[in-house]
C-alpha cells in the first residue's frame, strides 16, 4: 500500500509539469501580445500639439498654392515682348490664380448666423450703447481670417489690373500693374503667415543682413 501514495504524488507532479509546460508558453505569448499592443498603441498616438502644428502646415501649404500661379503669371509677362500676352494666354494664367484663391477662401469657416430680428426685442427697449472711438487702422480689430481674406481679394484685384495691362498694347501700364501684383502677393503671404499662428522667425538682426543693391 505504500507504493500507492508514491504513485499518486508522482502522477500529480507529472500533471503539474504538463500543465506548466502548456500554460507557460501561453502565458509568455500573452505577455508578448500585450507588449506588442502597448507598443502599437504608443506608436500610433499623435504627437503633442499635432492640431496646432497641422494648422501651421496648412497655412504654409496655402501660401505655396497661391505663390505658384502668381509667379507663373509674372514670369510670363516679364518674358513677353513689351509685357504683352494674348487674351487667351493671359486669361488662363489669371484663372489659375483665382482658382487657387478660391480654394483657400472656401476652406475658411463661415461666420455664425445672425439670429432673426423677430427674436430680438425692439430697439427702443435696448439701452443706448456708448460711442465706439474710431481707430486709425481698422485692420487691427479684424480677425486673422478676415485679414487674409482681404489681402487675397486685393491680390485678385491687382491680378485683374495686370490682365488689362498685358492685353492693352500699352507697355507703360505693365510695370505699375506688375508692381501692384508683387505688393499684393507679399501682403497675402504676410497675412497668411501671421494669421496661421506660425512661430516667430529667427532671422538675424537687419543690421547684419547685406545691403540691398541700389537702396
- What are 169-211's pLDDT values in tens digits? 999 999 999 999 999 999 988 888 777 667 766 777 656 656 6
Query: CA 46: distance to chain centroid?
Result: 18
* 39 in Cβ contact with 161 (< 8 Å): no
Q: What digits encode the pLDDT tens for the residues 66-88?
A: 899 999 999 999 999 999 999 99
Report domain extents, the chain. Answer: 50-108+141-198
pLDDT value at position 71? Answer: 93
Phi and psi (nearest 5°) for 108? -75, 130
Is the dihedral angle over the CA atoms 98, 102, 105, 110 positive or is it negative?
A: positive
- Of all residues in the chain, the percent with pLDDT exceeding 70 is 52
Total-model pTM:
0.58
Length, in residues, of the chain: 215
Average pLDDT over residues 122-150: 59
170 DSSP 8-state letter: -
Q: What digits encode the pLDDT tens for the residues 146-163?
A: 788 899 999 999 999 999
**Exposure string for 41-56, b = 16+ CB within 10 A, e = fewer:** eeeeeeeeeeeeeeee
pLDDT value at position 180? Answer: 95
* pLDDT reading at 213 higher than 70: no
Nearest-angstrom CA–CA distance, 84 and 166? 4
Q: What digits encode the pLDDT tens for the residues 44-72?
A: 666 777 777 777 777 778 788 889 999 99
pLDDT value at position 123? Answer: 47
Q: What is the CATH number of domain 50-108+141-198?
A: 1.20.120
pLDDT value at position 215? Answer: 45
**Mean model confidence pLDDT for the chain:** 72
Q: Who has greater pLDDT, 100 or 141? A: 100
Comparing C-alpha atoms, which of 59, 83, 62 is closest to residue 181? Answer: 83
Place of cell 507504493: 3
Amino acid at each position: 500500500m505504500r507504493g500507492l501514495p508514491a504513485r499518486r504524488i508522482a502522477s500529480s507532479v507529472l500533471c503539474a509539469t504538463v500543465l506548466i509546460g502548456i500554460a507557460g508558453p501561453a502565458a509568455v505569448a500573452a505577455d508578448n501580445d500585450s507588449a506588442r499592443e502597448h507598443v502599437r498603441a504608443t506608436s500610433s498616438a499623435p504627437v503633442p500639439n499635432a492640431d496646432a502644428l497641422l494648422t501651421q502646415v496648412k497655412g504654409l501649404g496655402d501660401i505655396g498654392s497661391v505663390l505658384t500661379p502668381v509667379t507663373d503669371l509674372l514670369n510670363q509677362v516679364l518674358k513677353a515682348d513689351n509685357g504683352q500676352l494674348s487674351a487667351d494666354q493671359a486669361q488662363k494664367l489669371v484663372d489659375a490664380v483665382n482658382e487657387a484663391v478660391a480654394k483657400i477662401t472656401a476652406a475658411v469657416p463661415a461666420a455664425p448666423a445672425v439670429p432673426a430680428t423677430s427674436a430680438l426685442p425692439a430697439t427702443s427697449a435696448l439701452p443706448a450703447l456708448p460711442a465706439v472711438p474710431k481707430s486709425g487702422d481698422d485692420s487691427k480689430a479684424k480677425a486673422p481670417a478676415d485679414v487674409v481674406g482681404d489681402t487675397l481679394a486685393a491680390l485678385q484685384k491687382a491680378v485683374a489690373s495686370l490682365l488689362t495691362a498685358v492685353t492693352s498694347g500699352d507697355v507703360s501700364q505693365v510695370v505699375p500693374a506688375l508692381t501692384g501684383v508683387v505688393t499684393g502677393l507679399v501682403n497675402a503671404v504676410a497675412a497668411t503667415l501671421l494669421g496661421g499662428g506660425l512661430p516667430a522667425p529667427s532671422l538675424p538682426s537687419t543690421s547684419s543682413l547685406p545691403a540691398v543693391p541700389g537702396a
